[in-house]
Structure 1
């Protein structure tokens, strides 16, 4: 199946180039500099575990690329990362030895060329020649000839024809088929199907819809920080009011940094589901005092920015704790000049808290996780995470939830949040912790999210789970827990 993106550089079939030429005439091949930026980022992601969303903007600025060149470099980078699994299966059929034996510095070039040939409307000769030009400069003439030969084989068929050849049979191996066609590791397909409760005998239709959504370019959602900006301000700047969050707006196009409120740090980029899980925590009724709030894992500060504004409006105070000093600095920037300066930021390890127990009325524990809920925005995560990653995170997630419950006063409420729907990180953490304690009870999270349909999940629908293919958001998980008196 062809990846359909909203990018002007992508299409399900090859067609005429864009630009000022006559209809039907291909546009000139974009410059080598654009491919070189994409290649450098792809190689850094592969070899140094770099993050594309952090490295690419710096590379574009350093190389002086903007406008259409920057847009093309972005598409080539993210498109290649999203479809890497599919391209690797195709490339494996086009090299005369195992793909794992191909030089590490050559493999990103082959993937970059395959993406242009199979998922963009860049003319085939331009895709091959421009990529080979990068290869000559980056890896030498000999390996450039190898790349040229392989890419010419790739260009002999379109994407649908190739996936029909390299993907396992759908009836015999539905998980393997989806893994290749939609470019996800097999274990991730299995994990997402389990989280959705999708039936293997039913063809995994909803799982396929989710995988397809992961390969779409996500839109930009802005947060109007309460008390500092309004949705009306963002709409005046060209955004559209969001569907769910009363503090959110969608930016249809353009650089968020060009929005006045973002430049002034009165607004920020934040996924709508991230806003909603934080809002749900503030909506639970607590008896008695409601003056002390805690964000136990605050970096980089998006949820703290929202909570700080809401806390200030209620004469409450927010303590934002982050274990990494650099990320704590980001939190401080995010909450700066919040309503009544309601937030205080500390560098602290919330598994060994410096605060006393039963000190807070509301506690957010947005714990470190595999990030499988944000694969649209960080596509490289799907190739880095393994089942072992989740197993290694489980003790930390458990400790953070336990200490969050300790920090809440009797009658207070805790929100356990992950940007992952993977069951070992969600209900697999919450249920054992609650089973071992007599002082905590699970609340029905969906009751505090009336704007959203179809978010109830898990045991008796007590949890909330957002999904890209249902809600257009990241796959955020929420459990709300009350500390018993």
Structure 2
């Protein structure tokens, strides 16, 4: 499926590069050189070049596949280039990665993948590098994907982590973190890694009190598996739906919905009128919680430290930062969650959706696996502990705190909760599983770890604590 040739001339002659491949290149290069977010950069690139339909689907697969398999492709390219890859111009290396994905990961004939990559290299790097691209990609095309994986991956028997890292295109430290979270099972680790390489469907939330799942289903979505507010859009642009445009629904993974629903379902002792979202940006969980709170006559305070994210929270809630919001919303404020700007023991329910590595959403953000590093985990752990401490301080005796991260890394999950509970005797873990009725395979508890390969959701972690 080759996209249409570009009609945009360059330098007085017709360009040999189609707009779909140009869009993919600019996104991959922006990720490589500016740490751009692929989903945002791709949407902008497709709009700018007016790439739609089948060509947009081609550009999307080319972009995401290249970013997802970058580490594995670099191992292959290192055997086809006569110099270290870090000595190549970044533009040339990105063209080689794009070409390799077309040869090994897409149904593009090898001669077409090589020829279009040479044209792309000539356009973005000059005539000299295009000869290198031609020679290297011809070497890549001499073997199929399975032959290359057998060549570059270590033996599973001698090095299972190294083998899975290459075969499933994840950094070794991520492979080992998944294994630890899966009780040492290499077989299930392989299943989790494979699930990360499957594109995630677009999941929507119909905000309680504002939208209905039936409206989303009538627009072409399917009902969700677990959340009564979820709908899955198999095709099309979610932002083209009227319910999304008018703020009655939003894009939100079902795992994220389940975290908010579990907090709302957990039993509390006494009153239930004040709820807190301590790290509310960009606002999806806050909007869901606000709708649930309104149904009970409660109100939610949404807190976000970063002003630009706080504005997204306010938009999701239908209010302005620092202003009393609509039904179910106490307000939206810009504040540091580790330094509460309210009296202790004020709230009945508190959500801490803590900043994390995002290793649980790698199927949605393919570039994140190569962007994160092990050193960041320790830094985030300290912040996560501080936020959870503040959350326990903020909830009243008899109230409940939900600690959640979109990561299965033990340092960001159970070890955070353990670190807090070992320093205080006024809080205790409670079993989170009864607050997620209908969700299968939740393990031995009391905490819950969702997985793409088990539940079809992002790998969200949830722990519930009650203040004594």
Structure 1 gaps of 5+ residues are: 1-8, 10-16, 20-29
Shift of 1:191: 0.5
Contact 1:300 1:327 in 2 (8 A): yes
Structure 1 match to 2:407: 420
Shift of 1:47: 1.3
Show the 5 A alignment for 1:244-263: 244-263=226-245
Shift of 1:32: 2.2
Shift of 1:479: 0.4
Structure 2 match to 1:145: 131
Structure 2 match to 1:388: 375
Moved more, 181-190 or 65-74: 65-74
The Cα RMSD (Å) is: 1.6
Shift of 1:467: 0.1
Equivalent residue for 1:452, pick from 413, 427, 439? 439
The whole-number CA distance in structure 1 between the counterparts of 2:333 and 2:93 is: 43
Instruction: Kindly provide the CA deviation profile for residues 419-462 of structure 1, in whole angstroms up to 9, marking residues without a partner as x.
Output: 000000001111011011110010011111111111235xxx21
Instruction: Kindly provide the CA deviation profile for residues 180-210 of structure 1, in whole angstroms up to 9, marking residues without a partner as x.
Output: 01100011000001001133xxxx1111111
The whole-number CA distance in structure 1 between the counterparts of 2:67 and 2:111 is: 22
The whole-number CA distance in structure 1 between the counterparts of 2:335 and 2:54 is: 43
Instruction: Kindly provide the CA deviation profile for residues 208-248 of structure 1, in whole angstroms up to 9, marking residues without a partner as x.
Output: 11111101111111100001111111111111111100100
Instruction: Kindly provide the CA deviation profile for residues 97-120 of structure 1, in whole angstroms up to 9, marking residues without a partner as x.
Output: 222222222111111000000011
Instruction: Kindly provide the CA deviation profile for residues 287-338 of structure 1, in whole angstroms up to 9, marking residues without a partner as x.
Output: 2111100000000001001001011111111000000111011111111178
2:327 alignment partner, SS class? helix
Shift of 1:96: 1.2
The whole-number CA distance in structure 2 between the counterparts of 1:132 and 1:357 is: 63
Q: Compared with structure 1, are the counterparts of its residues 445 and 341 closer, same or farther at alpha carbon in structure 2 (3 Å cutoff)?
A: closer
Structure 2 match to 1:478: 462
Show the 5 A alignment for 1:334-483: 334-336=316-318, 340=327, 342-456=329-443, 461-483=445-467
1:331 alignment partner, SS class? helix
The whole-number CA distance in structure 2 between the counterparts of 1:141 and 1:343 is: 61
Shift of 1:339: 6.4
Structure 2 gaps of 5+ residues are: 5-15, 320-324
Equivalent residue for 2:158, pick from 172, 176, 179? 172
* Total equivalences in the alignment: 453
TM-score (norm 1): 0.91
Shift of 1:392: 1.1
Structure 2 match to 1:103: 89
1:462 alignment partner, SS class? coil
Shift of 1:395: 1.2
The whole-number CA distance in structure 2 between the counterparts of 1:359 and 1:350 is: 14
Structure 1 match to 2:304: 322
Structure 2 match to 1:288: 270
Q: Structure 1: which 4+ aligned runs deviate by more than 3 Å?
A: none
Shift of 1:341: 5.2
Show the 5 A alignment for 1:47-126: 47-126=33-112
Shift of 1:179: 0.4
Instruction: Kindly provide the CA deviation profile for residues 48-99 of structure 1, in whole angstroms up to 9, marking residues without a partner as x.
Output: 1111011111111112211122111111110111111111111111111222
Does 2:213 match 1:231?
A: yes
Shift of 1:374: 0.3
Equivalent residue for 2:173, pick from 176, 182, 187? 187
Structure 2 match to 1:332: 314
1:105 alignment partner, SS class? helix
Does 2:255 match 1:265?
A: no
1:406 alignment partner, SS class? helix
Q: Compared with structure 1, are the counterparts of its residues 141 and 343 closer, same or farther at alpha carbon in structure 2 (3 Å cutoff)?
A: farther
1:268 alignment partner, SS class? strand
Shift of 1:285: 1.2
The whole-number CA distance in structure 2 between the counterparts of 1:123 and 1:367 is: 45
The whole-number CA distance in structure 1 between the counterparts of 2:418 and 2:306 is: 28
The whole-number CA distance in structure 1 between the counterparts of 2:105 and 2:374 is: 30
Instruction: Kindly provide the CA deviation profile for residues 399-430 of structure 1, in whole angstroms up to 9, marking residues without a partner as x.
Output: 00000000000111000000000000001111
Shift of 1:18: 9.8
